[in-house]
Amino acid sequence: MSAEILVLVEHRDGAVLDTTHELLGRARTLAAASGGEAVAVLLGSGAAGLAAGLGAARAIVVDDPGLESFSPSAYQAALVPLVRERQPVIVLISNSGPGMDVAAGLSAALDLPLAAYATDVTMDAQGPLVSSQLYAGKIEAKVRFSGGRGIVTVIAGSFSGDSTAAGGSPAVEVVGAAATDERIRFVGLIRPAAGDVDITRESVLVSVGRGIGEQDNLELVEALAAALGGAVSSSRPIADLGWLPRTRQVGKSGLKVKPKAYLALGISGAPEHLEGMRGAELIIAVNSDPRAPIFSVAHYGAVADLLDVVPALTARLGG
């Protein structure tokens, strides 16, 4: 075992994603605590230039035309030998779509344990300790690796993404891929059409989840949003149902918002939703379930039926 903390770099459109900086920040803290090194692993084709901006002691760049864009099979083929050889104590991977693919594949291929849905990773005398969320955030577990090393997939926003504390560029080592796998061919990126409203620019968001019950009830929140001079946003199921456009969706696969005020109405607060809104200045949650995880990020909460509270609030605001 080496004392290395490996971080898989996620990049798209020629830029490193924020989540990677979050992971690198924590990797440096863990490395400092354990006398190891934070090592960034960047897979790409001609993307070595991105390595200079990474907050790591060392960056290993695997450069191969087959890694031009993300592909689960090509990433796995490139990563397996690297992790096998370096024996890092922890491999940190973002719990994103690609991250979920790669982490589980690595775990199976290397018989290395995987702790998924992590919100915290620390290191003590017994080795890594991971806090993970289960049951859509309703249970928290603390777990260790039986062999003292393993893979962790981390929920976005769990660590601060300050990469300025990095202190200099990493030592960069460029290698070719040992193997690539072309059973999955990247065709292209498809970007969403611009929406009617840009929820990332609104200062007040009235956000609804499955607790709204019926599509017709959306009128109630539209009226509240109008009274507040804000816009309506939603959790994923509401967009999946087609009740609101996808551009109104907040969260992991939706948009990240930071309004002055975020009203979460009938939203349980699954980790994938919290990713998108936990940075709001003021969060007020209304939910009929007193155990809803949204209440652990809200500043104010009320256990109530949103269908009662919303009209009362709109009336109170003179809407």
Partner 1 sequence: MEYVVLLKQVPDLAEDLAIDGDGTGIDREWLSFVASEWDEYALEEALHLRDATGGSVTCLALGVESGDVSELLATCLARGADRVGKVGSFEHGPDSHAAAAAFAEALRGIPHDLVLTGVQAIDDLDGQVGPLVATRLDLPHVSVVTHIAVADGGGAVTVHQEYAGGVVGEFEVMLPAVLGVQTSREAPRYAPVSRVRQLMKTATIEALDGGGGGGGGGSGSGLVIESMAVPTVGRAAEMITGNPAAIADRIAAILAERGIGSGAAR
Ligand X SMILES: Cc1cc2nc3c(=O)[nH]c(=O)nc-3n(C[C@H](O)[C@H](O)[C@H](O)COP(=O)(O)OP(=O)(O)OC[C@H]3O[C@@H](n4cnc5c(N)ncnc54)[C@H](O)[C@@H]3O)c2cc1C
What part of residues 217-256 is at the interface with ligand X (CB under 6 A)?
235-237, 249-254
Please answer whether residues 292 and 271 qualify as being in contact, where contact means their C-beta atoms are separated by less than 8 angstroms.
no
Is the Cβ of residue 6 or residue 274 nearer to ligand X in the bound state? 274
Q: What binding mask, one character per residue, do residues 119-138 give for partner 1 by CB under 8 A, x or -? A: ----------x--x-xxxxx
- Reading the block at residue 139, the tokens are 């249970």
For residue 87, the partner it binds in ligand X, partner 1, none, with Cβ less than 5 to 8 A by kind, is none
For residue 161, the partner it binds in ligand X, partner 1, none, with Cβ less than 5 to 8 A by kind, is none
List the end-to-end C-alpha distance of the chain, in Å, as a whole number. Answer: 64
Q: Residue 311: which H helix or E strand, with range?
A: helix 306-316
For the CB of residue 40, give the shortest distance to partner 1 in the complex, in Å: 20
Residues 6+ away with beta carbon under 8 Å from 197: 231, 247, 248
Is the Cβ of residue 68 or residue 289 nearer to ligand X in the bound state? 289
Q: What is the torsional sign of CA 126, 131, 134, 139?
A: positive
Among residue numbers 36 through 75, which ones bind partner 1 (CB under 8 A)?
69-73
Among residue numbers 266 through 295, which ones bind ligand X (CB under 6 A)?
266-268, 270, 272-273, 276, 286-289, 292
Size of residue set near ligand X by CB under 6 A: 27
Cα–Cα distance for residue pair 127/22, rounded to 1 Å: 21
Cα–Cα distance for residue pair 82/105, rounded to 1 Å: 14
Piece in contact with partner 1 (CB under 8 A), picked from 40-48, 52-60, 149-157, 168-176: 149-157
Which pairing describes strands 114-124 and 127-134: parallel, antiparallel, or unpaired?
A: antiparallel
Near ligand X by CB under 6 A: residue from 86, 210, 256, 258: 210
Radius of gyration in angstroms for the set of CA atoms belonging to the chain, rounded to a whole number = 21
Please answer whether residues 170 and 195 qualify as being in contact, where contact means their C-beta atoms are separated by less than 8 angstroms.
no
Among residue numbers 295 through 314, which ones bind partner 1 (CB under 8 A)?
295-305, 308-309, 312-313
For the CB of residue 277, give the shortest distance to ligand X in the complex, in Å: 9
Phi-psi group of 148: left, alpha or beta (phi > 0 → left; psi -120 to 50 → alpha; rest → beta): left
Is the Cβ of residue 141 or residue 171 nearer to ligand X in the bound state? 141
* 207 is an interface residue for ligand X by CB under 6 A: no
For the CB of residue 168, give the shortest distance to partner 1 in the complex, in Å: 29
Nearest 5°: CA angle at 313, between 312 and 316?
Answer: 90
Is the Cβ of residue 108 or residue 165 nearer to partner 1 in the bound state? 108
* Chain positions contacting ligand X, by CB under 6 A: 209-211, 235-237, 249-254, 266-268, 270, 272-273, 276, 286-289, 292, 305-307
